[in-house]
Structure 1
Amino acid sequence: MTTPSFPVTLCVIVRDEEDVLQRCLQSAKNLVAQMIVIDTGSTDASPAIAQECGAAVYHFEWQDDFSAARNAAIDKAEQPWILMLDADEVIDRESWQEQHLQAIFTQPNVLGCYVQLTHLTHCWDNNLTHKPVCSATDMACRLFRNDARLRYVGRIHEDITASIEAVSSEAICWSSFTIWHDGYTAERIQNKDKAARNLHLLHLQLEEEPLNPLWWYAYGTEYFQSERYAEALPWLLRAITSFSKQPRLPGYASDVWLKAVYAYYSLQQLDSAIRLAEEAMEQFPLFPDLLLLSSTLYAVRGSLAEAYQCADEASACGDRTHLYTSTNGASTWRAHWMAAFLAERVGKYAQAAHHYEHAAAYTSTQYSSAILKSAAAWHRSDWISSSRLMRYAASTSEQNTQTIALPLTQALAASVHFSAAANLLPFVPALQEAASIDWASFTRHFLYDNS
């Protein structure tokens, strides 16, 4: 048996999680000294799977209270540190480096540690080899000392940080440790009926604490995640009104504003969305997701200069996941791509080339990288390179030829490859409306007058 590396107890609460539990426990194996699984009423093979993975299994009667179950797990922990995971989460082992963990363990004043919790938009494959490219990241305190003063509170969206901060306001440190979570993909939400469960628990929580804005935010979030924006918006706005009266905003406040802005937009209330977005940008500077959403709002209104400015600012934000919940690419490739697109439309061609080049640097596929580099070359008047890259993109893409016909034709024509461009013209008519150019003049000038 391999000697465990760290003095940590892994705690997991489960109910009918046989499809994901093994991968969760395997991801922590040999990283922790003890594994505890609290089963709250499984009818599947979850308890047996946990035992096969080396975890101690304890049965706990479900009380409509996640904190009660998590605290029951804490009571069984024997190691000086506790790592709390859900069954639909896995540890990114590459990010859990020994020297970083030891540095935290040896700080006597540290009671807890924020880790990066990355929520995936679709599920892992069974071997954990596929990391989906679309995700959102926030920080959560999942690693903390085994201390009798530290307990979870809340029936749902349970939290350990309040009890840590009651001991010391400076007892939680930050880390780059990463946990991957796919429990809120559309597939898992539907299979587990999480929305109905969560709304039931929130109803009970609101009966106990009707004036706590955290539960207003949580209620709005549940409706938001189900795309029930008309029902989400009043709860989110109510939370915002409460926050405006507080001298110190809670950590999740930025997400409330972001969701409320998006809800307004989804309900086709553009003016209200922009007003709230402008208020939010004053409250939360350098929030890349808010800047990108604001860029979209301005673009829809036709304010392209303001839209470009927001996208450009988002591209310069850097990593802000320690401050704000953020989707991947919000300050990198998505921000640069949006800024490049808008720069074209306001005549900032050098800036468009700059942003296309940076977007390409963050793009993993050969096709997308070549498309972006070609666009950059186009704006730098390097027609030959643009043509070469676009033809390379065409050769590597599995997409239908029509999706690349227009930009490829433009690049080939600009680099005087007229016959090759002419061969693609049959694919172009369906794309003419989106081209935003005078296609008849373009083809007449390049394909006929100069042939």
Structure 2
Amino acid sequence: MKTIPMITLCMIVKNEGAFLEKCLSSVQDFAEEIIIVDTGSTDNTIDIAKKFHSKIFHYPWDQHFANARNEGLAKATGEWILWLDADECLDIQNPEFYKEILKNKQANLLFLPITNFIGEHLDALNHDSYTHHQPRLFRNHQGIQFINRIHETLDGEPEKLTTDIIDMPILHYGYIDEITKAKNKSIRNKKILKLEAKKEMHSPWVEYHLASEHYRLKEYKLALEYVNQSIFNFLLIGKKPPSVHYKLKYDILIQTNSMNQALPGIEKALLLYPDYVDLHFYKGLILLHQSDYQNAKTCFEKCLELGEHHPDYLILKGVGSFRAMHYKNICSEKLKATDDGERS
């Protein structure tokens, strides 16, 4: 009979006094072991970590997130490892239920749904958000490690990696404007990304992440240049550009009201990703802007048909529900007004 597995939480932190207690409180009944790798805190981060009986290790910051995270993995003794950032928390009510699920999982790398809240202020009552799935739980001692200087991700021997999904939500607050500004995240991130971009054989993801940083700062011209370069770089190495590239590109074109040339491109993107609800939503907005109400309405109806539960994609809250319904109704009203006008 299988026993309930021991779980280790691994984190890297620096000056996370504002968030760490909320994060650790959310996981204390799920993880039996907490590994904290501190990269130079000068606030009360360490004191908070000690309250939760964390094992604390100090790591000299070398501008390499994967190196720091792997330092924590080397100290973990649990059968499974969960990794979080301090501005995230688990959103679960019954930890034992999820441990029972883990007990019977065959895969060694599990994807969890992450809700990324966006907006200006942390205390806003109605946050917009994006949802996507990331590999956040994995079996220990199976050669799975972090790679990449920034926007690190898990990697292992491909023939030994087996994946699955577990519906254990994580809430992420780090993209809210007041938090990114307080931490100077964008300055730090761009500095590290530009170090990576200087490497001759760097990943095309580097330009995508630079595009994302400029997008968050509303520097749309630079963001568009970087995302287009990233798409081109993926094509150069014979790989299909990931879906988030097209989402970001057409989001930028809509934000800047540059929709006249967008329709042919988004049609091609939808050939690559025909079930990506956000792209259908953006196509609907473009057609609505062009007063093509019937085809725009068809797009929003497609969004409602697809819904928002697609683990492979980054999805804006509402594009498969209330946002799509809102714009569908606008299209219906426009068509009715046109029809009434023709009759009169």
The alignment's TM-score, normalised by the length of structure 1, stands at: 0.70
Which piece of structure 1 moves more, 218-227 or 190-199? 218-227
In the other structure, the counterpart of 1:168 is: 160
In the other structure, the counterpart of 1:316 is: 305
> What is the letter of the counterpart of residue 147 of structure 1?
H
Please show how residues 235-274 of structure 1 align to structure 2 within 5 Å.
235-244=226-235, 249=240, 253-274=242-263
Please show how residues 48-67 of structure 1 align to structure 2 within 5 Å.
48-67=47-66
Contact 2:196 2:202 in 1 (8 A): no
Name the % identity: 26
Q: In 2, Cα distance between the equivalents of 1:140 and 1:286?
A: 19
Contact 2:122 2:176 in 1 (8 A): no
> Cα deviation per residue 1:54-73 (whole Å; 9 max; x = unaligned)?
21211111010110110011
Give, in angstroms, the shift of residue 154 of structure 1.
0.5
1:78 to 2:70 alignment: no
Q: In 2, Cα distance between the equivalents of 1:117 and 1:177?
A: 9
What SS is found at the alignment partner of 1:118? strand
In the other structure, the counterpart of 1:231 is: 222
Residue ranges of structure 1 left out of the alignment (5+ in a row): 350-435, 438-451
Give, in angstroms, the shift of residue 6 of structure 1.
4.9
Residues 143/238 of structure 1: CA separation in 2 closer, same or farther (3 Å cut): same
Q: In 2, Cα distance between the equivalents of 1:167 and 1:72?
A: 25
Contact 2:308 2:319 in 1 (8 A): no
Q: In 2, Cα distance between the equivalents of 1:133 and 1:157?
A: 24
Please show how residues 15-414 of structure 1 align to structure 2 within 5 Å.
15-94=14-93, 98-108=96-106, 110-122=107-119, 132-147=126-141, 149-160=143-154, 162-163=155-156, 166-168=158-160, 171-208=162-199, 210-244=201-235, 249=240, 253-347=242-336
Contact 1:261 1:277 in 2 (8 A): yes
Contact 2:115 2:130 in 1 (8 A): yes
Give, in angstroms, the shift of residue 172 of structure 1.
1.2
Contact 1:28 1:91 in 2 (8 A): yes
> What is the letter of the counterpart of residue 27 of structure 1?
S
Residues 114/152 of structure 1: CA separation in 2 closer, same or farther (3 Å cut): same
Give, in angstroms, the shift of residue 321 of structure 1.
3.2
Q: In 2, Cα distance between the equivalents of 1:101 and 1:319?
A: 27
Give, in angstroms, the shift of residue 245 of structure 1.
5.5
Give, in angstroms, the shift of residue 266 of structure 1.
3.1
Q: In 2, Cα distance between the equivalents of 1:112 and 1:197?
A: 29
Give, in angstroms, the shift of residue 316 of structure 1.
0.7
Q: In 2, Cα distance between the equivalents of 1:6 and 1:50?
A: 23
> Cα deviation per residue 1:188-242 (whole Å; 9 max; x = unaligned)?
0100011100001101112235442111211111111211110011221122223
Q: In 1, Cα distance between the equivalents of 2:72 and 2:200?
A: 25
What SS is found at the alignment partner of 1:199? helix
What SS is found at the alignment partner of 2:111? strand
Q: In 2, Cα distance between the equivalents of 1:348 and 1:79?
A: 64
In the other structure, the counterpart of 1:423 is: none
Structure (1/2) with the larger helix percentage:
1
Residues 209/11 of structure 1: CA separation in 2 closer, same or farther (3 Å cut): farther
> What is the letter of the counterpart of residue 131 of structure 2?
T
What SS is found at the alignment partner of 1:321? coil
What SS is found at the alignment partner of 1:235? helix
Q: In 2, Cα distance between the equivalents of 1:151 and 1:86?
A: 16
What SS is found at the alignment partner of 1:202? helix
Question: Which is higher, the Rg of structure 1 or of structure 2?
Answer: 1
Residue ranges of structure 2 left out of the alignment (5+ in a row): none
Q: In 1, Cα distance between the equivalents of 2:85 and 2:13?
A: 8
Residues 187/202 of structure 1: CA separation in 2 closer, same or farther (3 Å cut): same
Q: In 2, Cα distance between the equivalents of 1:244 and 1:346?
A: 41
Structure (1/2) with the larger strand percentage:
2
Contact 1:286 1:314 in 2 (8 A): no
In the other structure, the counterpart of 1:371 is: none
Give, in angstroms, the shift of residue 288 of structure 1.
1.6
What SS is found at the alignment partner of 1:316? helix
> What is the letter of the counterpart of residue 323 of structure 2?
R
> Cα deviation per residue 1:280-299 (whole Å; 9 max; x = unaligned)?
12111122221112111111
Q: In 2, Cα distance between the equivalents of 1:256 and 1:39?
A: 33
What SS is found at the alignment partner of 2:145? coil
Contact 1:6 1:32 in 2 (8 A): no
> What is the letter of the counterpart of residue 142 of structure 1?
R
Residues 135/266 of structure 1: CA separation in 2 closer, same or farther (3 Å cut): closer
Alignment size in residue pairs: 336
What SS is found at the alignment partner of 1:177? coil
What SS is found at the alignment partner of 1:208? coil
What SS is found at the alignment partner of 1:58? strand
Measured on the aligned residues, the alpha-carbon RMSD in Å equals 2.4
Q: In 1, Cα distance between the equivalents of 2:125 and 2:12?
A: 24
Q: In 2, Cα distance between the equivalents of 1:342 and 1:82?
A: 48
Q: In 1, Cα distance between the equivalents of 2:105 and 2:51?
A: 35
Give, in angstroms, the shift of residue 175 of structure 1.
1.8
Give, in angstroms, the shift of residue 317 of structure 1.
0.4
The alignment's TM-score, normalised by the length of structure 2, stands at: 0.90
